[in-house]
Amino acid sequence: MFSKATANFVHQIDPEGSLIHVSRVNDSHKLVPMALVVKRNRVWFWQKPKYQPTDFTLSDLLLGDEVLRPGVSETDFLTYTGTYGNQLSGSLDAVAGPVNVTLEGSGTSHLESCFGQLKKQELDVKKLLCDSRKRLVDMEHVLVQQLEKRAEVLAVVKERILTTTPCSIKQTNKEQCIFQGLLGGLGLLGLLSNSFEVCVKDKSNREVDSDVSVEIPSGTVIAYSIMDLEIKKDGRYAVCLRANMTGGFESDSLSWSSDLDLNAVDGGIQELPLSALLNGSEEMDLSPLAELPGSTRRVFFEKLQETLRDRPALTSLQFVLEELCNGETLASENGKPSDGQEESLGAILDQPDSGNGHCGASAQLNAAYLLVSAMEELPDETLNLLSRSSREDLKASDMLMCRLKESSKPLSADTLPALLQDDQRFQLAERLLGSAKVTLTRDGGCLLAEKESQAGVLPLVLCLSIRGLTVLCSGPE
């Protein structure tokens, strides 16, 4: 709940900036100016890093007895109150083996965050550079020794946003579910919505009202920004002062690469033609999703479309799937393991440790993680359009993306999917691609597709998202 509230805050006031939302209240006291944060690169090159605050500051890491004392400026920031809500409903009739299943559900969710008057504290970077001149990093320090240097970077807290008075976060959920038959192993779907539970009775009605309020004390950090450190083998280091500079250890100068080798700079991606960029999706396999039972794919598709309307929920789902793929134990925000999510996820996928993906996760689990991580990278407008796209529109858009991958030349309008021959349907596809900075233009009997200069990876992740949703809503039931 705290993580969702802070994520909403950052998304509203600094959507394309450098602020990072605090996901755990327990990390607040660690995020002091000049504190060290471990930034970990992740599986897919477009994903934002994960951040783990540490118990150390830069002063603890440097050789010498002189303690660095950060200069800190403090200013009033803004007053913030946010209210977010959604209303969901749906039904399912399916056959799972010999058992008939009927499920109906509806629910509303309401999250209210009142952080009140906030203040900003900012590190005096000039003083830090002056005071730490000629100091060396202790390469034998326990934190340095325990880092996975091929994937992790050390960073320094530059600024932080704090509460100035006690404030509250309140979440209200109202759910009603009706089950008939035997419905087991809904772990993956349960990650998308808390409106479902395993039911083994012939018929069951469930109504749940929950009203949870959390009081946040004064001085709680809700967001912060960092500067990466570039550390040489001999302990010399530099602070990365520009936002687009990436730190790391000298021995790891070529540390992070993707299958597409597009990691170095956005410029490398910008230079690729649209067809070459889209062809990168061939390296990323979503086909295992087609191996899921038809009823599972259908419900997964529907719940994914609902989740696309709630970005914090989508982000949370991405982290859950990442932990499962990495073989980590799932934990809720209070540090306790969640109720059997990992076991139930294995049940619905019915692929325990197939070894086809990284860290022994099943191929279906890896494919679900790839799909959700691609979606999480998309802008809100694109997510909204995908959430409202029909199965037929998605299939037509998928065929269009395949055509664009096949050729860098203009397409003949005759090669368009039959559905897109209709002007209204074509305009929907035009809007969808336009939201990912790909411009579609019809010129006589030709169709031109051009990637905008600042498109980055958006066309690629849109292609993956459309492909994954199409796989889920296609195939035999």
Residue-wise pLDDT tens digits, 308-343: 988 878 888 888 888 888 776 554 443 333 343 343
Indicate if the pLDDT at residue 106 is higher than 60: no
- Per DSSP, the residues of 425-448 read HHHHHHHHHHHTTEEEEEETTEEE
Indicate if the pLDDT at residue 426 is higher than 90: no
Indicate if the pLDDT at residue 217 is higher than 80: yes
What's residue 192's pLDDT?
Answer: 55
What's residue 361's pLDDT?
Answer: 52
- Sign of the Cα pseudo-torsion (356, 361, 364, 366, in order): negative
What's residue 155's pLDDT?
Answer: 95
What's residue 239's pLDDT?
Answer: 94
Average pLDDT of the segment spanning 270-289 = 69
Please name the residues in contact with 424: beta carbons below 8 A apart, sequence gap of 6 or more.
none
The span from the CA of 364 to the CA of 353, in Å, is: 11
Indicate if the pLDDT at residue 219 is higher than 90: yes
The span from the CA of 130 to the CA of 350, in Å, is: 58
Cα 99 to chain centroid distance, Å, stands at 35
Please count the other Cβ atoms lying within 10 Å of the Cβ belonging to residue 145. Answer: 10
> What letter does residue 337 receive in the DSSP assignment?
B
> What letter does residue 95 receive in the DSSP assignment?
E
Q: Is 114:79 a contact under the CB 8 Å cutoff?
A: no
Biggest CA-to-CA distance, the chain: 75
What is the domain partition of the chain in residue ranges? 2-252, 277-472
Helix (H) or strand (E) holding 304: helix 294-307
Q: Hunting for tokens 């990168």 — which residue is that?
A: 280
Indicate if the pLDDT at residue 210 is higher than 70: no
Cα angle, residue 159 at apex, residues 154 and 160 outer, rounded to 5°: 105
Average pLDDT of the segment spanning 125-141 = 94
Cα angle, residue 297 at apex, residues 293 and 299 outer, rounded to 5°: 120
Residues in the chain, overall count: 477
CA distances in angstroms from 128 to 58, 121, 125, 249, 330, listed in the order given:
10, 15, 5, 20, 38
Please name the residues in contact with 377: beta carbons below 8 A apart, sequence gap of 6 or more.
46, 47, 457, 458, 461
Mean pLDDT of the chain: 77
Q: Which residue has the higher pLDDT, 461 or 201?
A: 461
Buried b (16+ CB within 10 A) or exposed e, 241-255: eeeeebbbbeebeeb
Lowest mean pLDDT among 60-64, 100-104, 141-145: 100-104
Q: Hunting for tokens 């772990």 — which residue is that?
A: 187
Strands 237-239 and 203-216: unpaired
According to DSSP, the residues that pair with 412 across neighbouring strands are 446
Q: Is 373:367 a contact under the CB 8 Å cutoff?
A: no
Average pLDDT of the segment spanning 425-452 = 84
Q: Which residue has the higher pLDDT, 141 or 296?
A: 141
What's residue 405's pLDDT?
Answer: 80
Q: What angle do helix axes 2-13 and 311-325 make, rounded to 10 degrees?
A: 120
Q: Please give the torsion angle defined by the CA atoms of residues 239, 242, 243 and 244, in that order, rounded to the nearest 10 degrees.
A: -100
| pLDDT single digits (tens) 347-403 | 344 444 444 444 445 888 889 999 999 999 999 899 999 999 999 999 989 988 888
> What letter does residue 474 receive in the DSSP assignment?
S
The span from the CA of 231 to the CA of 149, in Å, is: 11
Indicate if the pLDDT at residue 65 is higher than 90: no
- Per DSSP, the residues of 377-394 read TS-HHHHHHHHT--HHHH
Cα angle, residue 323 at apex, residues 322 and 325 outer, rounded to 5°: 65
Q: Which residue has the higher pLDDT, 271 or 85?
A: 85
What's residue 60's pLDDT?
Answer: 95
Report the percentage of the chain scoring pLDDT > 70: 71
Average pLDDT of the segment spanning 184-205 = 46
- Determine the 3-state secondary structure of 84 from DSSP: strand
Please name the residues in contact with 313: beta carbons below 8 A apart, sequence gap of 6 or more.
4, 192, 307
The span from the CA of 58 to the CA of 141, in Å, is: 12
Average pLDDT of the segment spanning 458-465 = 91
| pLDDT single digits (tens) 412-423 | 777 777 787 788
